[in-house]
């Protein structure tokens, strides 16, 4: 029997992802690794406890590992963002939710946030001379990276 590819795993089941033979074959958990949660946590509802999911993955990582996370936020445009979220969720089965800066920051519990912190994505270490918007909040996505001490 073929084992399912780890890319088809359900983030709601982090223990299964960690125990999967494909994961164990590809990642040496005794060494620092990168955990990329890029625009995926909006699809994990509060009821599914995304904080617990991130903590479960974090606890499996060796010291020196990094979490890179990007998450849609309604922080800069709450009224229009909440309306957009409602329209989106009324037309798709994969329900998504935006979160506040504070809620997203909490996913970094147990990590040391690296500079420049949790910021709108164009502000995260733009290339020198890059044309950074004077209204970065219009991108609706916060991004950050944290190191597990
Ligand atoms: C907006 S895309 C981001 C994809 C990629 N990280 C990127 O930045 O291009 C959201 C991804 O989350 C995945 N996803 C949604 N719910 C998931 C779940 N419960 N478990 C694993 N992946 C999930 C979707 O399959 C999709 O690939």
Closest residue to atom 7 of ligand 1, CA basis: 38
Q: Is residue 108 part of a domain?
A: yes
Q: Is 6 in the pocket of ligand 1 (CB under 6 A)?
A: no
Q: Is residue 91 part of a domain?
A: yes
Q: Residue 2: which pLDDT band, with cuts at 50, 70 and 90?
A: low
Q: Provide mean pLDDT across the span 127-141.
A: 91
Q: Is residue 101 part of a domain?
A: yes
> Integer distance in angstroms from the first to the last C-alpha of the chain?
40
Q: Is 48 in the pocket of ligand 1 (CB under 6 A)?
A: no
3-state secondary structure of 132: coil
- The CATH number for 76's domain is 3.40.50.150
pLDDT at position 20? 96
The pLDDT tens digits of the residues spanning 17-65 come to 999 999 999 999 999 999 999 999 999 999 999 999 999 999 999 999 9
Q: Is the dihedral of CA 108, 145, 54, 28 positive or negative?
A: negative
pLDDT at position 1? 47
- Report CA-CA distances (Å) from 76 to 22, 26, 120, 138, 143: 40, 39, 10, 7, 14
- Rounded CA separation 34/3 (Å): 24
What is the tally of structural domains in the chain?
A: 1
Which among 11, 33, 55, 42 has a CA at the least distance from the CA of 104?
42
Residue 73 has pLDDT above 90, yes or no: yes
Question: Residue 134: which domain range?
Answer: 31-147
Residue 8 has pLDDT above 90, yes or no: no
Q: Is residue 35 part of a domain?
A: yes
Q: Is residue 83 part of a domain?
A: yes
Closest residue to atom 8 of ligand 1, CA basis: 38
- Residue 10 alpha carbon, nearest atom of ligand 1: 20
Q: Is 12 in the pocket of ligand 1 (CB under 6 A)?
A: yes
Percentage of the chain modeled with pLDDT above 70: 95
b/e code 73-91 from CB counts within 10 Å (16+ = b): bbbbeeeebeeebeeeeee
Q: Is residue 1 part of a domain?
A: no
Q: Is residue 15 part of a domain?
A: no
Q: Is residue 9 part of a domain?
A: no
């Amino acid at each position: 029997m073929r084992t399912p590819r780890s890319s088809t795993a359900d983030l709601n089941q982090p223990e299964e992802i960690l125990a999967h033979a494909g994961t164990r074959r590809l990642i040496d958990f005794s060494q620092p690794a990168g955990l990329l949660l890029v625009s995926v946590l909006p699809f994990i509802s509060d009821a599914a406890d995304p904080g617990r999911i991130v903590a479960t993955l974090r606890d499996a990582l060796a010291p020196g590992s990094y979490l890179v996370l990007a998450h849609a936020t309604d922080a800069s445009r709450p009224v229009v963002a909440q309306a957009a979220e409602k329209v989106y969720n009324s037309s798709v089965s994969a329900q998504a939710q935006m979160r506040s800066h504070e809620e997203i920051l909490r996913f970094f519990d147990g990590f040391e946030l690296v500079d420049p912190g949790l910021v709108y994505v164009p502000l995260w270490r733009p290339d020198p001379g890059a044309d950074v918007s004077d209204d970065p909040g219009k991108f609706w996505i916060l991004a950050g990276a944290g190191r597990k001490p």
